[in-house]
Structure 1
Amino acid sequence: MELFVIIAFTHFIALLSPGPDFFLILTTLLRHGRSAARFVCVGIALGNACVLMVIYACLFFLGKIDENILLYVRYIGAVYLIYLAALCLYYAKTEVITTHGKTDAVPTLSSTVSYLSQGLRSSVLNPKNILFYSSLVLLVYVDFRVFQHILMVLWMVTVVLLWNILLVKLLSYKVWIEWLSLKSRWLYYISGGCFIFFSLMLLMMNEFD
């Protein structure tokens, strides 16, 4: 029980550090509103679940985390982050949001799938998730029973979903959304810069391996 509490606390602390998922949620909120951002949050949570399932599958069938999988994810993740950076820089040059209400309509089915897939890709192609989750799973893989592993996975996925939805709710308050809308151009530049920074970090990780 003590080990589970430590893991739960460590996981929550890790959520406090902004990463690609946070900036994807922020830019989606600015461009498409709360509903779209919530679907991105669901996609991110599903991505976390997929990462955990891959880790457990590797441990069950191979007995270890395949390094080649992580290497491929790094390269693909770096390309995806550069793509997101390019989108942010494009938005910064072509639009400045001054009204939020018009972009907060309920998404269509195709838009919903698009937002879910964006969150899913952001989470699955983030090597930080694989490194973090694999280290936690390896720590308890032998000591935990099946139901404890299931509980840990449910905890991690649920906390990710609830935390990100809470962020959307907090950022959607009128005082914040008006400020974010007025500063949207600079926020796009900052988000694009962060995506580029994250992608360079991934490439540098490959150099030091």
Structure 2
Amino acid sequence: MDFSIYIHEFLILAGAMILALLSPGPDFAMILKQSVTYGKRSSIFASIGIGLGISVHIIYSILGIGLIISKSIILFNIIKYLGAAYLIYIGYQSLKSKGIKLDNSASKANKNMSDFKSFWFGFLCNALNPKATLFFLSMFTVVISIDTPLYIQAFYGLFCILATMIWFTSLSLILSQNRVREFLNSFGKWFDRVIGSVLILLGLKVAFSK
């Protein structure tokens, strides 16, 4: 078996994945919000959720459902509008927030967001992200050959999941540092309003994108 073909596929996928992670989007806004508002623990659980949210895209791409979605405007639009609605919803929740005061106590910083809820927020943010849908559809229909064995495709997917978790966990550790949180929390309600506005604008952009 000539593994050089798969190495070539993997390098293209890995390069594209890294560039996608470096591009600010809903996932970054989510981690920024969780890190500053609820602290490191909540943000890390959200990061794990974002990483595992990718498994949704991986599974339907490997099963071939991705090809069906790519050919069906109706199915893709359903995913797009669900994602847009979710972003607008969490953005609206941020706008309603009264802001919080920074507290170095992990229990107090985390009292309004359970581990499961943090994870679920991150999971849905990625699973319903049309940008991620388009990315994996393009990877599994253009870059990755249909003849690539399933275990190789599964390895590609595992890499994407782990890379995403590591990237956003690293961001969480940086953004949840007391100095960073103190600086951003000094803006009080304005921080929540800015993040909420960004999420709503991202949701509207998704909803009206073609």
Superposition TM-score tier, normalisation by shorter sequence: 0.7 to 0.9
Please list every run of 5 or more consecutive structure 2 residues that lacks an aligned counterpart in the other structure. Answer: 1-6
The DSSP-based 3-state class of the residue aligned with 1:169 is: helix
Counterpart selection for 2:158 from 149, 154, 162: 154
Please list every run of 5 or more consecutive structure 1 residues that lacks an aligned counterpart in the other structure. Answer: none
1:101 corresponds to 2:104: yes
C-alpha distance 40-60 of structure 1, shift in aligned 2 (>3 A)? closer
1:124 corresponds to 2:130: no
Q: TM-score by structure 1 length?
A: 0.86
**Structure 1 stretches of 4+ moved >4 Å:** 59-66, 103-108
**In terms of mean alpha carbon deviation, does 193-202 or 64-73 score higher?**
64-73
Number of residue pairs aligned between Structure 1 and Structure 2: 202
1:66 Cα deviation after fit: 4.3
Which residue is 1:57 aligned to?
63
Counterpart selection for 1:178 from 155, 174, 182: 182
C-alpha distance 71-62 of structure 1, shift in aligned 2 (>3 A)? closer
Which residue is 1:86 aligned to?
92
Superposed, 1:66-85 pairs within 5 Å as: 66-85=72-91
Q: Give the whole-Å Cα distance in 2 for the aligned partners of 1:112 and 1:167.
A: 18
C-alpha distance 84-142 of structure 1, shift in aligned 2 (>3 A)? same
Q: Give the whole-Å Cα distance in 2 for the aligned partners of 1:145 and 1:88.
A: 44
1:61 Cα deviation after fit: 9.1
Letter in 1 for 2:166: L
C-alpha distance 111-174 of structure 1, shift in aligned 2 (>3 A)? closer
Superposed, 1:189-200 pairs within 5 Å as: 189-200=193-204
1:188 Cα deviation after fit: 1.7
The DSSP-based 3-state class of the residue aligned with 1:141 is: coil
1:60 Cα deviation after fit: 8.5
Q: Percent identity?
A: 25
Q: Give the whole-Å Cα distance in 2 for the aligned partners of 1:73 and 1:56.
A: 18
Which residue is 1:163 aligned to?
167
1:65 Cα deviation after fit: 5.4
- Tell me how large the CA RMSD over aligned residues is: 2.4
Per-residue CA shift, 1:54-107, capped at 9, x if unaligned? Answer: 22223489596544332111111111111111111112xx12x34231355696
The DSSP-based 3-state class of the residue aligned with 1:101 is: coil
